[in-house]
């Protein structure tokens, strides 16, 4: 009888130990999956076309209140400089200055800058076929968009975009050879007609933390802290584009929030320079260098 009781006790003890071990392993695995799978509430939209409601919100955000006057985001000197003059012939396509964007879907700085860039360009023209994207799971998983597969039309400016790396940091597109001389292998890179080069306009990516697209649109419309920064970024980019278009359209470039933005670099002049017609399709690949892109 005693032997039978002891045997049952041993079995019970073993069962408890095994159960605890299984629970512990399950918790560890669950935590690891949660940590590395990102925000599934956002990630399920990755690669899907932007809804008509959100496209309408983009238009409204772009053409609504421009927000506060001026911008402190454009820095032309010192260790935090993010804007510099470019060299060489201007970029034009069909007689219009070209804005070139190079980024990566995984990149958190690209994620936040795309909001401002899309808003600014939407003041000069229209996007189609934008798709939802989030930065990499280990890079904030921030709600944003991707230019892959998109198109842009404008009477004033041309836009050529290259998301060189996907969300998993795999090369997915090539960079035309005539852009590679100025491209610094750093994301995000925006070249304004080969007269101005802008990199990492908004250094604080955490403003997008935990927010979906609808919430960010709400932030822009109410101009809370997140919305104010995105608007300021859009105004800074708008001011740079207005330098290329000789301040047309006036309805955009004469907005005080834009016209009061100090560039800090000389205005470009195309009259005395040759024009470099740029290719609209990729020609060669820029190889990834050691270290991070941004």
Q: Model-level pTM?
A: 0.80
Tokens of 8: 């049952």
What digits encode the pLDDT tens for the residues 198-214?
999 999 999 999 999 99
Burial 176-200 (b: 16+ CB within 10 A, else e): bebbbebbebbbbbbbbbbbbbbbb
What digits encode the pLDDT tens for the residues 246-281?
999 999 999 999 999 999 887 666 543 433 444 443
What digits encode the pLDDT tens for the residues 80-106?
999 999 988 899 999 999 999 999 999
Q: Which helix (H) or strand (E) holds 54?
A: helix 52-63
**Which is it for the CA torsion 44, 47, 49, 53, positive or negative?**
positive
Most confident by average pLDDT, 63-72, 157-166, 217-226, 283-292: 157-166
pLDDT at 104: 97
Helix, strand counts (H, E) of the chain? 9, 11
């Amino acid at each position: 009888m005693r032997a039978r009781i002891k045997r049952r006790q041993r079995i019970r003890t073993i069962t408890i130990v095994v159960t605890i071990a299984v629970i512990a392993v399950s918790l560890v695995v669950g935590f690891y999956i949660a940590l590395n799978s990102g925000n599934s509430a956002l990630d399920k939209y990755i690669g899907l076309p932007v809804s008509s409601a959100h496209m309408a919100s983009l238009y409204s955000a772009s053409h609504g209140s421009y927000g506060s006057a001026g911008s402190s985001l454009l820095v032309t000197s010192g260790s935090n400089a993010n804007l510099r003059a470019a060299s060489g012939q201007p970029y034009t396509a069909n007689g219009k200055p070209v804005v070139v964007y190079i980024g990566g879907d995984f990149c958190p700085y690209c994620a936040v800058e795309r909001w401002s860039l899309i808003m600014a360009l939407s003041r000069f023209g229209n996007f189609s076929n934008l798709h939802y994207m989030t930065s990499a799971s280990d890079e904030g998983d921030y709600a944003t968009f991707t230019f892959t597969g998109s198109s842009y039309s404008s009477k004033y400016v041309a836009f050529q975009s290259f998301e060189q790396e996907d969300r998993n940091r795999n090369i997915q597109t090539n960079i035309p050879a005539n852009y590679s001389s100025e491209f610094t292998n750093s994301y995000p890179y925006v070249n304004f007609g080969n007269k101005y080069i802008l990199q990492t306009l908004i250094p604080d990516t955490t403003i997008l933390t935990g927010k979906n697209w609808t919430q960010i649109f709400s932030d822009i419309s109410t101009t809370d802290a997140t919305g104010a920064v995105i608007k300021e970024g859009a105004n800074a980019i708008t001011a740079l584009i207005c330098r290329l278009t000789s301040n047309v359209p006036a309805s955009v470039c004469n907005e005080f929030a834009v016209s009061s933005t100090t560039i800090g670099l000389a205005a470009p002049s195309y009259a005395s320079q040759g024009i470099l017609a740029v290719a609209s399709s990729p020609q060669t690949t820029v190889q990834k260098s050691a270290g991070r892109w941004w």
